[in-house]
Chain A
Amino acid sequence: MNFDFSDDQRRLQDEVRRVLADHSTNVHVRRVLDGAAPFCADTWRELAALGALGIAIPEAHGGSGMGLLELCLVAEEAGRALVAAPLLPSIYLAAEAIRRAGSAVQQAAWLPRLAAGEAVIAAVLDERNHRVLKDPKLSLADGKVSGAVQAVPDGMAAEAALLLVDGRLVLVDLRGEGVERHALKSLDPTRPLARLVFDGAVAEALDAADGATVAAQVVNGAAVLLAFEQVGGAARALHAARDHALQRRAFGRAIGSFQGVKHKLAELFAQIEIARAHAYYGAWALATGAAELPRAAAAARVAATTAYNAAAEESLHLHGGIGYTWELDCHLHLRRARWLGQILGSEHAWREKLASALIEEAA
């Protein structure tokens, strides 16, 4: 039993943190917020140069072949630095699905370019069971995909999309025939969304016979990785609130000396640590392919979603009026927490997945 990361892994995490401190500053993130870029190319380039994008991609395919535990720590730092780049679709989803289920040719074609940050792949691998706009669902016939999908992260920046259609995992060239895409306004503009519309677009299937199973595993993995982003973001929001509470004075003393403030921050700390504990357990289950992954991933996702939303909301609140201004970064956390917590299905859906897993295990 060893319930923690190794010293080498921690050193690597520190290195990622140092690089992001310079290359994912709020100036970088706000360029995307203001619509000047679809994602932050500088951050993306630096993460690629560091080997962070390809950290779980085999060396034979241009990665550093370290593993998913290391990728979890990259994710924590990305969350802390509010990285505005396509980690979720390109790395957590597409690269993982291709690594697991792609043919040798597909792996050779895509993995080196994903590791280098040269290619961005949009990916929707979860079931998207909450429907508002009720587009015609995706369908596959004669190797061609039709239908539409809403709220696709980085859909405008991507050159291809990886989709789960009729139980198959397929790659679609977004620059090809029969594809239309429309930019959508996102509640978190640092993580843009698009609507993809297909009308008989050519779809290239991955090798996996059972695409739904691979997709479910990859989505569980992404839930763990997002949990690390959420824990990193939540810790940053908490520390921002702490720093403000130490410096801001009212009624003749630092507001951080009032129990109403202290206890609120202590609650957030406890909530984040519970989320972190589940994220670590999820990391282990993901990296070892443990049978516990569905339970571990769902618990990590629910705990991390509630923790980051709470931390972002209360951190903004503790900043007072200034926290409600565009100028401060509080709203970046509020937006990102909401975005991360819903992009892979809501907290409620994942809580139900967790309950199902627990009830099944107790049978």
Chain B
Amino acid sequence: MDFNDTPEEAAFRAQVRTWLEANATAKRGRDDTFRAGLSEAEYLAAARAWQKRKAAAGYAAIAAPREMGGLGGTPAMQVVYSQEEARFLTPDRVFEVSLGTALPTVAMWGTPEQKASYLQPAFEGDHVWCQLFSEPSAGSDLGNVRTRATREGDEWVITGQKVWTSGAHFAQYGILLARTDWDQPKSKGLTMFILDMGLPGIEVRPIRQISDEAHFNEVFLSEVRLPDSARLGPENQGWKVMLSTLMQERFSLGENFSGDLYAQIIDLAREVEWDGRPAIEHARVRSGIADAYIAQFGVELIVRRGMSAISRGESPGPEMAAVKLVGARAFQTGGALAVELGGAEGLIAQEDLGPEWRLPQLLWISAPGARIAGGTDEIQKNTIAERVLGLPGELRTDRDVPFRELEG
């Protein structure tokens, strides 16, 4: 057991740090963010340019094998890189789905031709990917997907509606889950496709979120025609392909929660006054900071242990199942604690309260989304109970019924 860098990791860290110092600006404080106030188009352009520079330096896909255009490094090296980049002002989020889930799925299931055409442009930032899974009646019950893919000769004709699709409004490609066999039970008749978002018949409508941002979208598909070469994985095996995507998602969610929320609360609590003393001197605040650290760093440690397992060529243990559940809730509790520090004044929006409140307020308002996206708390708990603890599955009336016989 060693939580320090190996000599190789230390050397890689030094190399990464030198490169970042030459290519990016260091953050001045914890709440310093990359060019706040950019329009989405400007931010996107900056993110692509940054991804291209990373790719040129070999840092775009550190843990991907060399034959796929990656650096052929270890997951630990990816962690080292992320830790170092977090200290610099760089654009984030744009390539989260591309590199975190979509491309690993293409790498796992794609044909040699698909890998040759899609991996490199995504690593280099030319293509952004999205993930078209959820539908109005297929959220937690994802097997209920009703988007229809019908075979016509060597083509598939796709019609349906997707929702909560992050980044669909700027993505060039997406992985799409559609129903190809209506005579099979729910999860058996699904197939995964690679969707070129520029094809005719695709309409993307952004959804305004409670945070007043619009990161995700509704996507309407009407008779979109795809060649069979756009199929990702075998016909009617889409559920299996999708599960491998969600496995990746658990890792990337863990990474997202590895920020330093508790440290931000410390910074704020030093400045805020309670009863004539800094809030940080109050026991309630101090215990909140301790608990925020336990949840947040605990999640980070579990993710690192999973990566250690992968580095040894093993599968991560069942503890990975706790990451999303604990992480998302920690996000909500910590965000609330930060906002609460200010009492009545804490209700003043950051524009009038001060820029150091921007992130805490954003965390507070976006935390409810984290508990829903990528599997709700309840779905996570069912998964832990059934897959890890071996408890009985939920009673299902629809499991063995051909999909076409199910009520909407």
Contact = CB atoms under 8 A, between A and B. Distances in A.
Contacts of A302: 290-291, 294
Contact of B3 (A257, A262, A281): A281
B289 A359 contact: yes
Contact of A256 (B3, B293, B392): B392
A266 B380 CA distance: 9
Interface in B263-294: 263, 266-267, 280, 283, 286-287, 289-291, 293-294
A263 B380 CA distance: 9
A2 B391 contact: no
Given A1-B76, A277-B305, A358-B290, A256 B322 contact: no
A253 B395 CA distance: 11
A272 to B, nearest CB: 9
A60 interface: no
Interface residues of B, number: 55
Nearest to B280: A359
Contacts of B1: 2-6, 69, 280, 283-284, 287
B382 interface: yes
A283 B6 CA distance: 18
Given A257-B395, A352-B286, A262 B385 contact: yes
Interface string B216-245: 000000000000000000000000000000
A237 to B, nearest CB: 13
A281 B4 CA distance: 11
Interface stretch (B178-186, B191-199, B295-303): B295-303
Interface in B365-408: 378, 380-386, 388-395
A180 interface: no
Contact of B304 (A1, A238, A256): A1
A242 B302 contact: no
B385 A351 contact: no
B319 A273 contact: yes
B308 A242 contact: no
A20 B115 CA distance: 53
Interface in B1-24: 1-6, 9
A259 interface: yes
Interface in A1-37: 1-6
B326 interface: yes
B297 A299 contact: yes
Contact of A262 (B263, B295, B382): B382
B2 A1 contact: yes
B2 A274 contact: no
Interface in A255-285: 256-257, 259, 261-263, 265-267, 269-270, 273-278, 280-281, 283-285
- The CB with the most chain B CB atoms within 10 A, among A69, A254, A285, A359, is that of A359
Interface in A159-198: none
A54 B294 CA distance: 31
A348 B283 CA distance: 10
A270 B297 contact: no
Contact of B392 (A2, A69, A257, A277): A257
A133 interface: no
Nearest to A277: B301
Nearest to A352: B286
Given A351-B287, A352-B287, A359-B289, A262 B381 contact: yes
A152 to B, nearest CB: 28
Contacts of A263: 378, 381-382, 385
B309 interface: yes
- The CB with the most chain B CB atoms within 10 A, among A3, A246, A287, is that of A3
A242 B390 contact: yes
Contact of A355 (B4, B287, B326): B287
A262 B388 CA distance: 11
B3 A1 contact: yes
A219 interface: no
A274 B322 contact: yes
Contacts of B311: 2
Contact of A277 (B290, B298, B309): B298
B262 interface: yes
- The CB with the most chain A CB atoms within 10 A, among B6, B308, B381, B394, is that of B381
A362 interface: yes
B302 A277 contact: yes
A9 to B, nearest CB: 8
A358 B311 CA distance: 30
B175 interface: no
Contacts of B297: 278, 281, 299
B6 A351 contact: no
A352 B285 CA distance: 10
A270 B304 CA distance: 16
B293 A362 contact: no
B6 A1 contact: yes
- The CB with the most chain B CB atoms within 10 A, among A253, A259, A287, is that of A259
Nearest to B306: A3
A281 B293 CA distance: 13
A73 to B, nearest CB: 11
Given A242-B389, A277-B298, A299-B290, 17 more contacts: A1-B308, A238-B389, A246-B390, A256-B392, A259-B382, A261-B391, A262-B386, A262-B391, A269-B388, A273-B322, A274-B322, A277-B299, A277-B319, A284-B2, A354-B290, A358-B263, A359-B289
20 contacts: A1-B2, A1-B307, A3-B1, A3-B308, A6-B1, A246-B392, A256-B392, A266-B382, A266-B384, A269-B322, A277-B298, A277-B301, A278-B298, A280-B1, A280-B305, A283-B1, A290-B3, A302-B290, A352-B290, A358-B289
The 8 closest A-B pairs by CB, nearest first: A262-B385, A355-B286, A274-B298, A277-B301, A270-B322, A266-B384, A266-B381, A257-B392
Interface of B: 1-6, 9, 76, 79, 262-263, 266-267, 280, 283, 286-287, 289-291, 293-295, 297-299, 301-302, 304-305, 307-309, 311, 319, 321-322, 325-326, 378, 380-386, 388-395
